[in-house]
Amino acid sequence: MFGMTEVTDDTIAERLYGGSYKTIKQYVDILANRGVEWGLIGPREVDRLWERHILNSAALESLIPQGSRVADVGSGAGLPGTPLAVLRPDLEMTLVEPMLRRSNFLTEVVDELGLGDRVTIVRDRAEDAGISVDVVVSRAVAKLATLVGWTAGLFGQTGCLLALKGQSAEEEVAKARKELSKRHLSAEVLLVRADPSSEVTRAVRVRRSESA
């Protein structure tokens, strides 16, 4: 498996991003250098940026409707929002990040990648951001029950939350049942991947219950 990853992840990304590959490669280079210097990416992650960060983020792409307004909550180094924005020029992306250092990093990244016309940085907590979107995305921010409490007010009646999760996805859904029920929400675990050749990842999709 490791041999395949070393040979193919960059190739998979090049095929996936097509004409935008140069931009996503520039972003990976920023993460590998300034992202590590700023403490946003662990040094051990550098060799796994394509697989664990770019392709993992891009796996949500198939779940986001065309022309959606999307908010990446707790964006950090820009994941998953930046890979999605580069891959999908039709999206109107807002990167929500309360920490000054991280929001400064995001501002630099968006400017350098030339994404300023469709990517906005909001330095605030999700629950105080005062925005309304179609889709909220999130990665490695908080347990699902907490995340639902922060983001339920951001997406409308027909919108959703897409949270990238690991092996604990089903357990988190079970533990979040009380919070979900209180807010008339339902959750399901979906297995998604950016490309048929890339690794599968778990995404929890939270939506308004039909009975709500």
Q: Roughly how many angstroms between the first and final C-alpha of the chain, as a whole number? A: 45
Q: What one-letter code names the amino acid at 18?
A: G
pLDDT computed for residue 135 by the predictor: 98
For residue 116, pLDDT beyond 70: yes
Buried b (16+ CB within 10 A) or exposed e, 107-122: eebbeebebeeebbbb
What DSSP string describes 100-111?
Answer: HHHHHHHHHHHH
Per-residue pLDDT tens over the stretch 118-143: 999 999 999 999 999 999 999 989 99
* Tokens standing for residue 23: 């931009």
Yes or no: say if 83 and 24 are a contact pair by the CB < 8 Å rule.
yes
What is the tens place of the pLDDT at every residue in 83-98?
999 999 999 999 999 9
pLDDT over 70 (residue 2): no
3-class secondary-structure state, position 211: coil
Q: pTM for the full model?
A: 0.93
Alpha-carbon Rg for the chain in angstroms: 16
61 Cβ neighbours under 8 A, 6+ residues apart? 84, 87, 88, 194
Q: Percentage of residues in the chain with pLDDT exceeding 70?
A: 95
**pLDDT at residue 1 greater than cutoff 60:** no
Of 20, 86, 10, 105, residue with least CA distance to 48: 10
